[in-house]
Amino acid sequence: MKKLIFAGLTVLFALSFATCDMAPIGAGAGEEIIGYTNVVYSEDGKSLTLYLEGGVPETKASRALNANNARKGHDFYEVVFVNAANGVSRASWLRGQSAAITNITRGLDYGDVDGHLTGEGSAIIFVGTNSGKTLLAVGTLTGTDTGGTVIAANTRTATFSVAALVGDVSTFAVTGGVSDTSVYGTAPNDITFNRFHLASATHAATYPISTVTGTLIADYIEGIKIARDITGPNNGAEIIPPRVLVGGGIYDYLGPIDLKPDVTLTNNNTADDSFNPNIGFSIDTNGATGGICALTFSIPVYAIDNTTTPLTGGAPVIWNIRPGYFGYEFDLDNGNGDIEGALLLSAGSGNFETLILITVGP
């Protein structure tokens, strides 16, 4: 079973934009108003409403820390609209903060992420973590209250459907490599890892990114752009010591360790290119003496257009596509759908079926 890059993210996520002529949602009887907000989240976490102008009362209850709010997890958002003249309207915000987006050109169809290239509009939403700016999900505009995906003069709401990104060790493939397993620990608490043995000097490898629907993100990739040129080995992708999270911020580092292999991105390495969901690597094992290592990656991306002079909004957010988040991208993926993301490799000669504890550290 594939692992959500962000486990627990709601698959369908509606984002509504409302104009100031909508009837505001008032506070309940007897509730103390402590301010106003232009972002209103639904109780089930599946939708939020942005008021393009004005706002609604905010109460103490709406800010309360509770299990329902905590489980929503993702805490940072960015939405981008681009008109046919490449004018950009952009907004980003943290959960709990107000957001503001204005100057959205009316009369255009915003249903495609590249519609601005053919005389219409484009729109996309990114959802992820504020810490590290890990991209967890993407979405496109799929409906309005006036029908279809045209934001007309009288359109009051627009709905975005969002899909979480997925990928794990089960879809990782190494050309010419030997798929095997390694075990760490003592039964019944041992852990088995998928391991890829690099039997020759150079290998090509791929890590596909898809969505929870199983479809590669073809509907979104034209709106996900590479943020910078990435050149040379161990840049954007890197070889790291293999580690297992034990708990409480303590890790077991496993061996025998050999960090000699170099890894180079073979795509997603040119600024302003569209993201390729089949992430490619070249792994060079020349000089490897025999041991294990782990592969992880972090690919910087932005949403549709990176202009620093938008019609409204600030500078573009630089997001990162990773095999995990909050540091779990450095922990070995055990193939059980957990949140770890690093890929176990071995090179050279030796018996790597049983892994040994090298060090314990924070």
Query: pLDDT digits over 219-252, tens only?
Result: 788 999 999 999 999 999 999 999 998 877 788 9
Same domain, 174 and 303: yes
- Could you read off the pLDDT of 185-207 as tens digits, one per residue? 888 888 999 999 998 889 999 99
Same domain, 260 and 147: no
Please check whether residue 156 is in contact with residue 18, taking contact to mean a CB–CB distance below 8 angstroms: yes
Please check whether residue 112 is in contact with residue 82, taking contact to mean a CB–CB distance below 8 angstroms: no
Asked if residue 354 is part of any domain, the answer here is: yes
Q: One-letter amino acid identity for 80?
A: V
Asked if residue 150 is part of any domain, the answer here is: yes
Residues of the chain above pLDDT 70, percent: 77
Q: How many domains does the chain have?
A: 2
Same domain, 136 and 248: no
Same domain, 24 and 100: yes
Q: Using only the alpha carbons of the chain, give its radius of gyration.
A: 23
Same domain, 185 and 160: no
Asked if residue 85 is part of any domain, the answer here is: yes
Which range, of 17-21, 213-217, 262-266, 326-330, averages the lowest pLDDT?
17-21
- Give the chain's length: 362
How far is it, in rounded angstroms, from Cα 249 to Cα 251?
7
Asked whether the predicted pLDDT for residue 316 surpasses 90, the reply is: yes
Asked if residue 222 is part of any domain, the answer here is: no
How far is it, in rounded angstroms, from Cα 26 to Cα 343?
51
pLDDT of residue 18: 42
Same domain, 143 and 186: no
Domain that holds residue 89: 14-166
Boundary (domain end) residue, out of 139, 166, 193: 166
Residue 326 banded pLDDT, cuts 50, 70, 90: confident
Same domain, 174 and 101: no
Can you tell me the mean pLDDT for 324-344? Answer: 87
Spatial CB neighbours of 269, under 8 Å, sequence gap ≥ 6: 226, 229, 230, 231, 236
pLDDT of residue 203: 94
Residue 103 banded pLDDT, cuts 50, 70, 90: confident
pLDDT of residue 3: 55
Asked whether the predicted pLDDT for residue 353 surpasses 70, the reply is: yes
Asked whether the predicted pLDDT for residue 8 surpasses 90, the reply is: no
Same domain, 178 and 310: yes
Asked if residue 217 is part of any domain, the answer here is: no
Asked if residue 65 is part of any domain, the answer here is: yes
Q: How many Å is the maximal CA-CA distance in the chain?
A: 73
